[in-house]
Chains A and B, each alone.
Chain A
Amino acid sequence: MIKINDLCFSWKTTPVINISNLHIQTGKHLFIEGPSGSGKSTLLSLLAGVLTPNSGGIEVLKQPLTSLSSSQKDSFRADHIGFIFQQFNLIPYLSVIDNITLPCSFSTIRKQKAITRSGDLKSEAVRLLKALGLTGEDIFQRNVNELSVGQQQRVAAARAMLGSPEIIIADEPTSALDSAHRDAFISTLFNECDKENITLIFVSHDSSLKKHFNHHINLGAINNIKQEQQ
């Protein structure tokens, strides 16, 4: 589902990424481990089509990203990829529900999927929140800044899952959580991704999380540009 061939990317003149070969299959929970500065975020941006590689090819869902224009890549991302970031995932001026349904403003495919599933966007958002363990009407009405970090991350997960994109990329989603919450978050995330048949790419510098995943990659190992070289 994701194929990377001879991928090279440099920030200005500094090479950051040089991956000769990487294949990720559908339905997998993949853990990409890498210390800070190893180019994790850059790799994710390349996968998302936000950054364009200097050379080499990236194929996502059999679609070579390099053949798409930047706005086509934006649409492609909207349609097929959900993101969960480390922290502050939510737009402060939108309600919980509005944050979750935000991708539908940019992707009609995901909007259709969500509506097909629950009848309307709000019901689907509520369904996902409940599945992720957030219940109670009051949460939906609250300002997102009033939620705890754990609740915020679950709202972010719900947003990433809404409309069942094929891929969810989670960039250090648990680093702001304590260990109890972290494990609970990861297990609910796994459950939901399995149910929806979503490929989860989980990126972290924390190798202790490796145990939850059946597949893992060490970015330091596959990236030909070594830390020392940077």
Chain B
Amino acid sequence: MAIFSLAFKSLLNRKFTFLITLFSIAISVALILGVQTLKDETKTSFMKSISGTDLIVGARGASSQLLLSSVFHIGNTTNTIKYDSYKEISQLPVVEWAVPISLGDSHKGYTVMATELSFFDHFSYANKQSLSVQSGEISDDMFAVIIGSDVAKKLNYKVGDNVVMTHGGGEIDGHDHDNIPYFISAILTSSFTAIDQTLIISLEAMEAMHTEHNDFHSALPSEQSTRTDTQQDDGHKHEQHDHDAHNNHDTHNDHAAHNDHDDHDDHDEHAAHNDHDDHNDHDAHDEHAAHNEHNEHNDHDAHNDHNDHDAHNDHAAHNDHNDHDAHHDHHDHADHADHAHQHNDTPEQRIARLLQIKPENINAVFIGLTSRQAVLGVQNYVNNYKNEPLTAIMPAVALQELWAFFAIAEVALDIVTVFVVLVGLLGMLSIILMSLNERRREMAILRSVGARPGHIFALIIGEAAAVCFSGIVMGIALLYGLLFALQAPLANHFGFYLDINFLNLNDLWVLATIQISALIIAIIPGVLIYKTSLSDGMNIKF
């Protein structure tokens, strides 16, 4: 014990070299622990990207590719599956929920993901946390877009702003879907997943952007329409009504066409509209696109019999209308002259609202099952799906597999940090070695008062142990200082949430290894001074 107190006092006497050695060890310790922490946290954050989803279904291919594209929105999204397949799979009795997603467009480099509103009910990450809204409200409007927190922050978007999507990844200019603008209805809170860098739209809107509806333009009574026909079907009148009402800032009641509107509502409500022949009779002379569209509309009515879809569509239109009015109220009054019609639907949007076409193809389906035991069965069913080649992956398993790719990088990092620690310890060795010669007198004095050569050896080892131990303690302090300092900036600028935990068992092993290595390395000067003190004895050589 006396020797260790001596060693400690001896170190204090050489504060400067002691501190330098201390810092080099502290920095290397902080680095090795920091790299471990970052590795762990990266892995955790990676593994937290998705949870609560039992299966992801996509086109047949590598599971990592499907995972990357569906969860991380990285890479190839050209492989699609049929919407009908999704419908069929979602109707399996063990499927509790199924949410289709479709990718492929972007906005200023950020992924645009089309899905259904139920996505927000079912998608979860980390410990089954759901996505939450930071501002605005998730709107069921067809052209509402919900944006991730990073998108909002980096592009400085607010709720109510208008955005336009770009076809593909944005590599080629001039592929903006500027005929279909979106308004931001909600900004999500940070989830530290790919969703933060994503804009979420409806499947119908995605389809609308990618379908050429030129044929239907003539069906609209808009300015560019060349149609002279005055006979229009009710649906179109309704649209016209909306449009006009906007342009004039009139109330519905004042408008002459309002009666038509009511008529239309009546039609929908009692499904008289399905009295299709009637219309056809009316429109008998009307042999152009409007007719097609009308048919389309009727189709919808037909399968709305069971879910009141038409009424819903009307509601949607209405909502939109109200929404627009509201926007006009607090938004556009000031610069009314410039873009009074900013929030009016474009013709393409109006067509899309009427058509409500679901896409034929989607990229992936997230599936939740009623019981975990069903996973393998459903996976098997999907993998052997008869109508088209599909793959079903279990996200947790696929994440593990994908992470295994990074193992080599982990090893490389480990090697580098081990060498950094080694350099720190070698620095300590050189400083101890350099001090030996000037300390021969000290050793001779110690020998004269009865110190054994073993004591002298222990003194050197003790010094190394003390330096290394202080270095480790300081390194830990440095690490936690850095972690606390970097936590907020990392989350803000890189979307990486660093969870600060106490040192785990692995870290303690690393630290123990460093401490033991220091002791082993200190054997070199220890043996040297042992030999010197044996031959020097109490003779002090100058």
Interface residues of A (CB under 8 A from B): 41, 44-45, 48, 50-51, 70-71, 74-75, 77-79, 83, 85, 88-94, 98, 102-103, 105-107, 159
Option from B13, B441, B450 in Cβ contact (under 8 Å) with A74 = B450
Option from A45, A70, A71, A106 in Cβ contact (under 8 Å) with B449 = A106
What CA separation (Å) do A83 and B448 show in the bound complex?
Answer: 6
| Residues of chain B with a CB closer than 8 A to A106's CB | 2, 449-451, 455
Min C-beta distance of B436 to chain A, whole Å: 15
Interface majority SS (helix, strand, loop, mixed), chain A: helix
Question: B441 — nearest CB in chain A belongs to which residue?
Answer: A88
Option from A44, A50, A92 in Cβ contact (under 8 Å) with B447 = A50
Min C-beta distance of B463 to chain A, whole Å: 11
The A/B interface has a contact count, at CB < 8 Å, of: 69
Most buried by A among B13, B445, B448, B537: B448
Once the chains bind, are B538 and A105 in contact (CB under 8 Å)? no
Give a binary string over B411-454; 1 marks a CB under 8 Å from any A CB, 0 the rest.
00000000000000000000000000000011001111111111
| Residues of chain B with a CB closer than 8 A to A71's CB | 452, 454
Give a binary string over B35-51; 1 marks a CB under 8 Å from any A CB, 0 the rest.
00000000000000000
Option from B9, B451, B540 in Cβ contact (under 8 Å) with A94 = B9
Min C-beta distance of A85 to chain B, whole Å: 7
Once the chains bind, are A50 and B450 in contact (CB under 8 Å)? no
Once the chains bind, are B538 and A50 in contact (CB under 8 Å)? yes
What CA separation (Å) do A71 and B448 show in the bound complex?
Answer: 13
| Contact A93/B448 with A44-B538, A85-B540, A88-B540 known, Cβ cut-off 8 Å | no
| Residues of chain B with a CB closer than 8 A to A78's CB | 449-451
| Residues of chain B with a CB closer than 8 A to A74's CB | 447, 450-453
| Residues of chain A with a CB closer than 8 A to B344's CB | none
| Residues of chain B with a CB closer than 8 A to A41's CB | 538-539
Once the chains bind, are B540 and A105 in contact (CB under 8 Å)? no
Option from B442, B448, B450, B537 in Cβ contact (under 8 Å) with A79 = B450
Min C-beta distance of A181 to chain B, whole Å: 21
What CA separation (Å) do A50 and B532 show in the bound complex?
Answer: 13
| Contact A91/B450 with A41-B539, A51-B537 known, Cβ cut-off 8 Å | no
| Residues of chain A with a CB closer than 8 A to B445's CB | 85, 89-91
Option from B6, B14, B454, B539 in Cβ contact (under 8 Å) with A45 = B539
Q: Does B10 sit within 8 A of A, measured CB to CB?
A: yes
What CA separation (Å) do A79 and B452 show in the bound complex?
Answer: 13
Give a binary string over B243-283; 1 marks a CB under 8 Å from any A CB, 0 the rest.
00000000000000000000000000000000000000000
Once the chains bind, are B449 and A102 in contact (CB under 8 Å)? yes
What CA separation (Å) do A77 and B442 show in the bound complex?
Answer: 17
What CA separation (Å) do A93 and B237 show in the bound complex?
Answer: 99
Option from A77, A94, A98 in Cβ contact (under 8 Å) with B450 = A77
Size of the chain B interface, CB-CB below 8 angstroms: 25
| Contact A48/B9 with A83-B538, A91-B442, A92-B442 known, Cβ cut-off 8 Å | no
What CA separation (Å) do A93 and B449 show in the bound complex?
Answer: 16
Question: B537 — nearest CB in chain A belongs to which residue?
Answer: A50
A-B pairs with lowest CB-CB distance, top 6: A78-B450, A93-B13, A106-B450, A105-B2, A50-B537, A83-B448
| Residues of chain B with a CB closer than 8 A to A85's CB | 445, 448, 538, 540
What CA separation (Å) do A75 and B452 show in the bound complex?
Answer: 8
| Residues of chain A with a CB closer than 8 A to B454's CB | 71
- 21 CB-based A-B contacts, threshold 8 Å: A41-B539, A48-B537, A48-B538, A50-B537, A70-B453, A71-B454, A74-B451, A74-B453, A77-B448, A77-B450, A78-B449, A83-B448, A85-B540, A88-B441, A89-B445, A93-B9, A93-B12, A105-B6, A106-B2, A106-B449, A106-B451
| Contact A83/B449 with A93-B12, A105-B6 known, Cβ cut-off 8 Å | yes
Within 8 A of A (CB), among B503-542: 537-540
| Residues of chain B with a CB closer than 8 A to A48's CB | 448, 537-538
Min C-beta distance of B196 to chain A, whole Å: 57
| Residues of chain A with a CB closer than 8 A to B453's CB | 70, 74
| Residues of chain B with a CB closer than 8 A to A94's CB | 6, 9
What CA separation (Å) do A215 and B60 show in the bound complex?
Answer: 108
Question: A45 — nearest CB in chain B belongs to which residue?
Answer: B537
**New A-B pairs, 15, CB < 8 Å, besides A50-B447, A83-B448:** A41-B538, A48-B448, A48-B537, A50-B537, A51-B537, A71-B454, A74-B453, A75-B450, A77-B450, A88-B441, A89-B445, A91-B446, A106-B2, A106-B449, A159-B449
What CA separation (Å) do A48 and B14 show in the bound complex?
Answer: 31
Min C-beta distance of B5 to chain A, whole Å: 8
| Residues of chain B with a CB closer than 8 A to A51's CB | 537
Once the chains bind, are A93 and B539 in contact (CB under 8 Å)? no
Question: A89 — nearest CB in chain B belongs to which residue?
Answer: B445
Question: B5 — nearest CB in chain A belongs to which residue?
Answer: A105
Min C-beta distance of B170 to chain A, whole Å: 67
| Residues of chain A with a CB closer than 8 A to B14's CB | 93
| Residues of chain A with a CB closer than 8 A to B539's CB | 41, 45
What CA separation (Å) do A224 and B454 show in the bound complex?
Answer: 35
Min C-beta distance of A69 to chain B, whole Å: 10
Question: A79 — nearest CB in chain B belongs to which residue?
Answer: B450
Min C-beta distance of B256 to chain A, whole Å: 103
| Contact A103/B449 with A93-B13, A94-B9 known, Cβ cut-off 8 Å | yes
| Residues of chain B with a CB closer than 8 A to A90's CB | 445
